[in-house]
């Protein structure tokens, strides 16, 4: 996972905190808070999906420098 994606996912922490407060501490949630949480989760999902689609990380995509020759570089 890229560092930028991890940075964006830190924006999820307020949503997680509110959810855990509701779950563990019996805090109340109103409709506006639920709508806000849904907007944040949806936005983060779109950002992460767009960033991973734009720059996929493929294993083995870099050439093996030990096996390459000067002829390979000239092509």
In a domain, 73, yes or no: no
The SS3 call for residue 67 is: coil
Q: Does the residue 39 lie in any domain?
A: yes
The pLDDT profile of the chain, 75 residues, written as one tens digit per residue, is 566 767 777 888 888 899 999 999 988 989 999 999 899 889 888 887 887 766 555 555 555 555 555 555 555
Residue 2 CA to residue 51 CA, distance in Å, equals: 9
37 falls within a domain: yes
Is residue 5 a contact partner of residue 52, using CB atoms and an 8 Å limit?
A: yes
Considering the domain boundaries, does residue 67 fall inside one? no
Q: What SS3 state is found at 11? A: helix
Q: Which domain holds residue 36?
A: 3-54
Helices 13-25 and 31-54: crossing angle, nearest 10°?
140
Does 32 map to a domain? Answer: yes
Structural element, H or E, at residue 40? helix 31-54
Position 34 in a domain: yes
Q: Cα separation of 22 and 74, whole Å?
A: 63
In a domain, 40, yes or no: yes
Count how many domains the chain has: 1
């Amino acid at each position: 996972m890229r560092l930028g994606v991890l940075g964006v996912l830190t924006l999820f922490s307020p949503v997680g905190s509110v959810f855990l407060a509701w779950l563990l501490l019996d805090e109340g949630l109103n409709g506006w808070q639920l709508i806000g949480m849904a907007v944040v989760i949806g936005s983060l999902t779109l950002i992460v999906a767009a960033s991973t689609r734009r720059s996929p990380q493929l294993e083995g995509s870099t050439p093996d420098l030990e096996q390459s020759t000067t002829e390979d570089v000239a092509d």
